[in-house]
Amino acid sequence: MTDTSARAPQEVFADHGNRLGSGDLDLISRNYTEDAVFITPDGVLTGREGVKEGIGRLLTDLPDADWQLTPQFAGDVLFLEWTAIGATHRVTDGVDTFVFRDGLISAQTVRYTLTARTK
């Protein structure tokens, strides 16, 4: 097993982006601690299963989306502004906050407004 404790938040985030691109929810969830907290507009999800559920919902709404990200790191916290435009939906005001612990993500708060595209 790979020792993740030596990974800096920037490394975890870069790896997380690569895993998101794969669409493999099991692989994506491995970047989170076992007791991760995932807070979404619909409520709080916990653990790696909760992470898989929350990210899965977003990926379902935005398959093959064009993502634009602006990350800002402050120690073990990442503030991420993002937008995404997919074939049927768009996000124009996405904001995520990630908290990193021991080379993994221990908490993520996701806020966004998802709207259907008319064109």
HEC string of the chain? CCCCCCCCHHHHHHHHHHHHHHCCHHHHHCCEEEEEEEEECCEEEEHHHHHHHHHHHHHHHCCCCEEEEEEEEECCEEEEEEEEECCCEEEEEEEEEEEEECCEEEEEEEECCEEECCC
pTM more than 0.75: yes
pLDDT digits (tens, 9 = 90+) for 37-94: 999 988 999 999 999 999 998 888 888 888 899 999 999 999 999 999 988 889 989 9
Q: What percent of the chain has pLDDT over 70?
A: 97
